[in-house]
Amino acid sequence: MQITLNRNSPQPLYTQLAQDIQRRIRSGALPPGARLPTVRELAVQLGVTRLTIHTAYSELQAGGWVEATVGRGTFVAAPTEPATVQTDYGHDRSPPSILNDMVRLARLPGMRSLAMADAAPDLYPTRDFARALDEALTSGGAAVLSYTASQGDPLLRTSVAELVRERGINAAPDEIVITSGTTQGMALIARTLARLGDTVIVEQPTYLGLLNVLNNQGIRPIGVPVDADGMVVEVLEPLLQEYQPRFIYTIPVFQNPSGVCLSAARRNQLLVLSERYRVPIIEDDIYSALVYEGTILPAIKGSDQNSLVLHVSSFSKSLLPGARIGYIIAAPQFIARLVAAKQADDLCSPPLMQRALALFIQHGWLASHLRRTLPIYRARRDALMTALARSFPSGVQWTTPRGGLCSWVTLPRGTSVTDLYLAAVERGVGFAPGDVFFIEPPAQPFLRLSFSSLTPELMAEAVQILGQLISAQNNRRTFTVPPLAECLPLV
C-alpha cells in the first residue's frame, strides 16, 4: 500500500494510518478478505515504530474494520449486511433506544455517522493522558486504586475550581461534586430536587439524555421553546405560576441540539424569575470550552447572588467521553444532599481516572489539547456548512453554530424523518432524528447533525447522500395526488 503520513499534522500518525485504511476499505480498494501488511513490514515501509502500526490496527479492529488471526495476519472484515442494519435501527424511538442506536452506529464499519455529539476519537490526547495515568499510579499508590470520597478527589476538585474561574465562577473545592459525566450529574440533581410526579421546566428541543433521566425517574418535563436567542424566557412566568416546577434546566451556551446561545437579556430575566419564584436553575455548560469564533458570555452561575444556580459540566465533549468525569458546582445547601445521592448511586467515581485528569489539567495538557483541536473542529464545522449548502435542496434550513458540536436542520413539512433515517442507515449514513429531542412530537420535522468525528471528505459524502434522500422524498410528495377534500375551492 502506498501510504503517505503527514508528520507535521496535529493528528497522531496511527490515526492518519487508520483513517487511510478505512477510506480504502470503504471505496473497495481493499475488499473483504484482503490481507494487510504485517506490523513489521508496514513499519519499515513507512519509517515508523511498530507500536504506531500496532495501535492503528488495534483501532481498526475495535471498529470492526479488520479481523486479526494469530499466525495468519490481519484481514479486511466482511461488511455488515444492510438488511440487518435496516431491521435493527430506528424503529424504537424511545430515548434509551435512540441513545443506543447512536453509539452502535458510530462503531458500525463503513458507517459515516453524524449522530453522536462527542469528542472525535482521532483527536483523543492518548499519549499525554497515558502519561497522566502513569503519574497518577506512581505518585498516588494504593490510594488511587481503592475507594475515594464520594464528593470526589480533592486534587481534581481543586483543579476544577481553578478551571471554572475562566467562566466567571468563584467556587471553593467543597462546593464541587465529581460525577460520572454530566448525565449522572443530572440524575443526581433530579433525584435530589424532585420526586415522582413533580414537574420541571426544560427547553424544547433539549438534551436527549436529560429526557431519558426524567422519564426514568417519573418526573414530568414542561417545555419552553428555543429560538435564535436561546430559551424564550418571556413565556416562562405563567408556567412557573401554573406548574410550580422543581427546577429550570437550560443549556445556555451552544445549546444541544440547536447550537444557539442564551442572550444576555434573557439570562438576566431568568435569574430574576428564579429569585422571584425560588426555583433553582440547572445550567448545563458542557460545550463552553468549544468556541470557534467570537466570545461567549460568562456562566450564569457567576451572576448567581441567591445560591439558586447549579452548574453542571464534564470533560466528555472537550476531552475524553470514556473518562466519564463530570462535576456539579452548587451552594452548600445542595452539596450534602448531592453527595448523599452520589454515595447511594455508585459510591464514588473512579479514583485513578480522577487523579489522572487532575494531573492532566495541572500540567497544562488540557489547555494545549484545546489549542490543537479547536481549529480542527472549526474546519469540520465549516466543511459541514459547505456540504449542506452544496447538497441540500431548497426549503431546508440549518443553524451555523459558533461553537459546540451540532447543527440543527429544519426539513420541509411532510418529510418523514423515520423513512429518511432508515434509508440513510441503509446507505451508510447516520444522524440523530429531531423528534427525540422533544417532549411531544414537533409540528416540523428536524434532524441533528454532529460534525465532530468525520473528516471533510466523509462529511461531504454523508451530506450528499442525505440531500439525495431528502430530494427524493420531496419529489414523491410533489407528484402525489391530494385527497379530494383538499381540491375543493375556497368559498
* CA dist., res. 334 & res. 175, Å (int): 9
Query: Which residues of the chain, if any, have pLDDT below 70?
Result: 80-93, 95, 106-109, 477-491
| Residue with cell string 440543527 | 408
Q: Is 383 helix (H, G, I), strand (E, B) or coil?
A: helix
The model's pLDDT over 400-448, given as tens digits with 9 standing for 90+, comes to: 999 999 999 999 999 999 999 989 988 889 999 999 999 999 999 999 9
SS3 content of the chain, % helix, strand, coil (to 5): 50, 15, 35
Residue 104 burial (C-beta neighbours within 10 Å; 0-12, 13-18, 19+): middle
Pairing of strands 406-410, 446-450: antiparallel
* CA dist., res. 50 & res. 39, Å (int): 6
Question: Quick one: how far is CA 203 from the chain centroid?
Answer: 17
Q: What is the CA radius of gyration of the chain?
A: 24
- Can you name the CATH fold of 126-366? Aspartate Aminotransferase; domain 2 (3.40.640)
Q: Minimal CA–CA distance to 458: which of 429, 423, 427?
A: 429
What contacts 480, CB < 8 A, 6 or more positions away? Answer: none
What contacts 139, CB < 8 A, 6 or more positions away? Answer: none
Longest pairwise C-alpha distance within the chain: 84
* CA dist., res. 295 & res. 454, Å (int): 25
The model's pLDDT over 72-114, given as tens digits with 9 standing for 90+, comes to: 899 999 875 443 444 455 566 676 777 777 777 766 667 899 9
Rounded alpha-carbon distances, angstroms, from residue 259 to 398, 409, 447: 10, 11, 13
Any idea where the domains of the chain sit in the sequence?
13-76, 82-124+368-478, 126-366
* CA dist., res. 321 & res. 167, Å (int): 21
| Residue with cell string 473528516 | 455
Q: How far apart are the first and last CA of the chain?
A: 72
* CATH (residue range 13-76): 1.10.10.10
| pLDDT for position 76 | 93
| pLDDT for position 219 | 98
Phi, psi of 99 (to 5 degrees): -60, -40
pTM of the model: 0.83
* CATH (residue range 82-124+368-478): 3.90.1150.10
Sheet of strand 397-398, all strands in order from the earlier edge strand to the far edge: 397-398, 406-410, 446-450, 432-433
| pLDDT for position 178 | 98
* CA dist., res. 41 & res. 36, Å (int): 10
